[in-house]
Amino acid sequence: MVVDRNAQWERVRARLRTEVGEAAYSSWLKPITLAGVADCVVRLNVPTRFMRDWVVKHYADRMRTCWREEDAGIESVEVAVVTAAVMSAGRRPTTAGANGAAESADGAAEPQRGTETDVDPRFTFENFIVGKPNELAYHAALRVAEADSVPFNPLYLAGGVGLGKTHLMHAIASQYRKRFPTRRVVYMSAERFTYEFIRALRDKSTMEFKELFRSVDMLMIDDVQFIAGKESTQEEFFHTFNALIDLHRQIVISSDRSPSDLENIEDRMRSRLGWGLVADIHATDYELRLGILQSKADQLGATVPAPVLEFLAHKITSNVRELEGGLNRVLAYSNLVGRPITLESTQEVLRDLLRANDRRVSIEDIQKRVAEHFNVRIGDMHSPRRARAVARPRQVAMYLCKQLTTRSLPEIGRKFGGRDHTTVMHAVRKIEELRQSDPALSEDIDLLRRMLES
């Protein structure tokens, strides 16, 4: 019986495709060709050495398993480098490596910290909640993903930890691949880029490395601040970057800071990074946090009482990752103990998280904001003056300190010019009272609170 190896290979590939997802498939598995099967060894070809290393490291084991399901006699899978010219000419593959032998899949797998080049299909534009703090970044990302030609280059997403940079990058990659299935997208963290480049230097395969990166239609480098201070990597990145810009290929960069704030990076690099569109992702505000919580709860099919969501949106202000983590914990707890979610159980379950978030608003911040808002001097927060014009703002500040920090009454008193804790208690009561009767003051306080928490 004649075995159709090509049909087997197609089935193996199809299986891997459903396992790894469309994105990883088109980057890494689609370019592989079957050279043949002989002596219980499957021989595969890839166009670059870099790709070979990648495929061997990440997919060889699975490929071997899949092949064995087709043919139990298969012992190993070997991956060899064949340049595109050789491949299309159909000549015999040239093997890579100093010793001239193709690396075997067996024993070549290095331990990895997750596959940072794979695009995660869970991060989409649809489930990215848009609000004031991130609307520019969102619209810019969408434009890049859908435009027929490069709208701005590079797109530089700047924002603090956990504010959605990686989410947007994955969303761009998925959307772009859907729209342009034949184009090549490489998404990679800057850390990974550095790692691969250093490996290429060591293996003397920098030509292949360059070739791979310069053949892409869209290059996405996440957390670019990681290449700061790494001179040779930076140099290589700079050349790749320029080459792609010259070829009108899209580049998307993310970083926790703007190009001008990147340290240990060459001036020419810094200025080039800022050439396209720099879109800041600002800290979340209350409305955005609430929107995100509602959407996550819906996605999980969970019903969470509105006061609980509002409480979380008020309290967990640091970043979206923690916000999600908080919600997940609350849901897990209620599942586990089989009780509905309440405000009280939420406070209990999240005590440590809430405390960590509280600490982020300091008494000094509050005093400064309140003084600015009521147009009094910051010194008036500490001064003994009792005129209503300064005493009221001071009371508001004390009230907010009690609400937004975990400091005790005596501690708060000390920071307000060494006042007694009973003075602070009086201030808190007074403001609580006034909030009932004075809607304008109440609004001022809400506004201050939102500013301080965002």
Residue 324 contact among Mg ion, ligand ADP, none, beta carbon within 5 to 8 Å by kind: ligand ADP
- Select from 127-135, 143-151, 160-168, 201-209 the region that touches Mg ion (CB under 5 A): 160-168
Q: Is 166 in the site for Mg ion (CB under 5 A)?
A: yes
Site size for Mg ion (CB under 5 A) = 2
Site size for ligand ADP (CB under 6 A) = 17
DSSP, res 375: T
Q: Could you tell me if 157 and 137 are in contact, meaning their C-beta atoms sit under 8 angstroms apart?
A: yes
d(Cα 258, Cα 268) in Å, to the nearest integer? 15
Q: Which of 32, 269, 320, 366 binds ligand ADP (CB under 6 A)?
A: 320
Q: Which of 8, 117, 166, 205 binds ligand ADP (CB under 6 A)?
A: 166
DSSP, res 116: T
Q: Is 167 in the site for ligand ADP (CB under 6 A)?
A: yes
Q: What are the backbone angles phi and psi of residue 356, rounded to the nearest 5°?
A: -60, -35
Residue 321 contact among ligand ADP, Mg ion, none, beta carbon within 5 to 8 Å by kind: ligand ADP
Site for ligand ADP in 143-162 (CB under 6 A): 159, 161-162
Q: Could you tell me if 340 and 334 are in contact, meaning their C-beta atoms sit under 8 angstroms apart?
A: yes
Residue 48 contact among Mg ion, ligand ADP, none, beta carbon within 5 to 8 Å by kind: none
Q: Is 324 in the site for ligand ADP (CB under 6 A)?
A: yes
Q: Is 192 in the site for ligand ADP (CB under 6 A)?
A: no
Three-state DSSP class for residue 173:
helix
Q: Is 292 in the site for ligand ADP (CB under 6 A)?
A: yes
Q: Which residues pair with 45 in a beta bridge?
A: 33, 80
Location of structure tokens 């000549």: 91
Residue 154 contact among Mg ion, ligand ADP, none, beta carbon within 5 to 8 Å by kind: none
- Select from 147-155, 319-327, 387-395, 425-433 the region that touches ligand ADP (CB under 6 A): 319-327
* Residue 92 CB partners (closer than 8 Å, separation 6+): none
* Residue in the shown chain whose Cβ atom is closest to Mg ion: 166
Three-state DSSP class for residue 279:
strand
Name residue 374's amino acid: F
Name residue 66's amino acid: C
Site for ligand ADP in 107-136 (CB under 6 A): 123, 127-129, 134
The four Cα atoms 195, 201, 203, 204 give a dihedral, to 10 degrees, of: 150
Residue 162 contact among ligand ADP, Mg ion, none, beta carbon within 5 to 8 Å by kind: ligand ADP
Task: Please spell the DSSP secondary structure of 38-74, one letter per residue.
Answer: ETTEEEEEES-HHHHHHHHHHHHHHHHHHHHHH-TT-
Contacting positions for ligand ADP (CB under 6 A)? 123, 127-129, 134, 159, 161-167, 292, 320-321, 324
Contacting positions for Mg ion (CB under 5 A)? 165-166
